[in-house]
Structure 1
Amino acid sequence: MTHPTRPGLQPERTSIAWLRTSLALIANALLFLRWGVSHPEHGIVLLTLSVVICL
């Protein structure tokens, strides 16, 4: 049995997917930032990577 499609759902799903992707990127950037601060020998690389991910 097929369900009727509602025309407003596709933009909503796309918006939710972009939100989920951006939250994952921000979480990874924060993890890189935290690890970069606690490991100064790799700090500049990880700090740069976290800034690039946030952009």
Structure 2
Amino acid sequence: MLSTSSFPQDSSTARERFRNDCYLPLPGLLTEDGLAVLRDEASRLVQLARRRDFT
């Protein structure tokens, strides 16, 4: 997990970092449980896509 010190404290620095890196870390945005839910859902969607069952 990233420390909060890795997150730019001012908006101009954040914009520049996003422009350079194409992403911006948001430490603490999701809990471990929240990440687990997202991983499960991503896995479910991959399985649907493989079957091409979009109903």
TM-score range, shorter chain: 0.3 to 0.5
Q: TM-score, normalised by structure 1?
A: 0.40
Q: Which has the larger radius of gyration?
A: 1
Bigger helix fraction: 1
Q: TM-score, normalised by structure 2?
A: 0.40
